Amino acid sequence: MNLQLLKEACEGITWIEPASSEYDEARHIYQLDHTAVPLAIVQPTTIDDVALVVKSATQHGIKFTVRGGGHHIMGRCIEQDTLTIDLRKLDSVEVASDRHTAVIGGGANNLQVARVLEKEGLATPLGLVATVGFVGWATLGGYGSFMNQWGLGVDNIVGAKLVTWEGKIIDANEEVLTGIRGAGGAFGIIVSLTVKVHALEKVLAGGMLFAPQQFKPFLQMLEKEASSFPPALQIGTAVFNFPGKGRVFRAELLWSSPDLEAGYEAIRRLKSLSPPAIVDDVSETALSTLIEKITAMIPPAYGGNETVSFGTFDDEALEILDQCITAMPNDPATVMALHHLSPISPSARTLSPQEDKRSSWPLHCGHTMIEIIGSVTDKTDKANKAKSRQWSVESRDALRRSAKSLEETYISMTYPGDRTLAQVYGSKWENLKALSEKYDPHGVFELAVPRIRSGMA
């Protein structure tokens, strides 16, 4: 391995080594526990730059990881003694002339995408945390805004441009797109993604705050009534520890239709079916404003996530969930968040055999993905950190014992080593392995997420 030769081959591209005063800032990621020190961080500004870095790194035998937003739960965008290819300067968002699609740069984050599309009176499904990289979010599932109306992020992908293991720039064919839709950058570095966009200028957004005891009754109502609400109404739920208020339960609401009056009516109906709320703050706003508001509530944290998905909730499953909430530690960074994909979502409908072959995403059905966030704000409080981590693992295991839990899990939230990729991807796994062997025959992208060659999440 010769890092100096690689650096010389990449002359003209920003190159940051550990001794540089810029290194700590460039290396900073969401997962503060991850202490890996990359050999160097390279920051390409063009697709050609990315191709040159991949080709040169491969020639010199230097392994690399790819950083978009830097939000992987275990920080897998950086690894010890590897090169980090930081795509954040490839952050363009270009709307097609027909205004039906947009091309998103490989390093753009959710907030950047929201802001550009808003100026055009457009929207696409997005995550609700500002600095999460859009490409990783979308290609690995894409839970978040608008998924009941327009589907998961993964189901809005119509094209991609990527750099292959040989350093060639290609437009993904249908076979590669099948892999990208669910397994992201395992077949090449995705330098741009083409997605569907939809007309939307303003949204109704906000939520209702409840006492934590209302969590179970609200979910019982939602389980019964979810299909009766318009698809434009997105409902997310979470239990967390709010400074000054203690433990609270919040239902986050988002309306994605230009018909705002219909949105107010749908929300009034939701309120009439819900337990009494402590706070109700739904109003007209821009999606970017909502993203900024939610992101501001997320503290710097140390720890890790677990995840379980449910097709439906029966009384037993809700009782287990309620017990997990009761046992939740009191740290502000410890959270239980639920992402509800309604049975009426385009991503929940039964696919034809031909449609099913076009995606590696395993869960095209109505379901709820649960994030069990076992994190803390103070890394020096080791006892509290251990407590939160233990709670997340025990909650995961308890929920998985329910007959209503699903075998497949959300790869972006699946703790490394917790599941095999055969479990995560179900019937999609064998095809993913075949695609990896065909399009990454030498394991150049073995450190991508998912790590297909390891067979483990």
Domain ranges of the chain: 3-86, 93-199, 203-413
- Average pLDDT over every residue of 202-213: 94
> Do 3-86 and 93-199 agree at the fold level?
no
Predicted confidence band of residue 155 (pLDDT cuts 50, 70, 90): very high
The dotted CATH code for 3-86 is 3.30.43.10
Residue 124: pLDDT band with limits 50, 70, 90: very high
Q: In terms of pLDDT, which residue wins out, 350 or 262?
A: 262
pLDDT in tens, 287-307: 999 999 999 999 988 998 999
Sign of CA dihedral 293, 295, 301, 303: positive
- 430-457 pLDDT per residue, tens: 999 999 999 999 999 999 999 999 999 9
Q: Which residue has the tokens 């050999």?
A: 39
207 Cβ partners below 8 Å, 6+ apart? 250, 251, 252, 253, 280, 281, 282
Residue 455: left (phi > 0), alpha (psi -120 to 50), or beta?
A: left
Across 93-115, average pLDDT: 98
Tell me the per-residue pLDDT of 407-436, one tens digit each, with 9 for 90 and over.
999 999 999 999 999 999 999 999 999 999
What was the pLDDT predicted at 350?
82
Alpha helices in 340-428 (DSSP H): 353-356, 382-400, 421-425
What is the rounded average pLDDT of the residues 315-336?
A: 96
Q: What is the pLDDT of residue 2?
A: 84
The arithmetic mean of pLDDT across residues 301-318, rounded, is 96
Question: What pLDDT does 322 receive?
Answer: 96
Average pLDDT, the chain: 96
Q: How distant, in Å, are the alpha carbons of 143, 182, 224, 362, 421 from that of 428?
A: 19, 9, 30, 6, 10
- Hunting for tokens 């287990």 — which residue is that? 320
What are the pLDDT digits (tens) for 158-174? 999 999 999 999 999 99
Domain spanning 203-413, CATH architecture: 3-Layer(aba) Sandwich (3.40)
The model's pLDDT over 23-60, given as tens digits with 9 standing for 90+, comes to 999 999 999 999 999 999 999 999 999 999 999 999 99
For residue range 347-390, what is the model confidence (pLDDT) as tens digits?
998 888 888 889 999 999 999 999 999 999 999 999 999 999 99
DSSP 8-state assignment for residue 414: S
Q: What is the pLDDT of residue 400?
A: 97
- Residue 325 DSSP one-character state: H
Fold annotation for 93-199: 3.30.465
Cα atoms in the 13 Å half-sphere on the side-chain side of 197 = 27
In this prediction, residue 1 carries a pLDDT of: 61
| Predicted confidence (pLDDT) at residue 215 exceeds the cutoff of 90 | yes
- The answer to whether residue 181 scores a pLDDT higher than 80 is yes
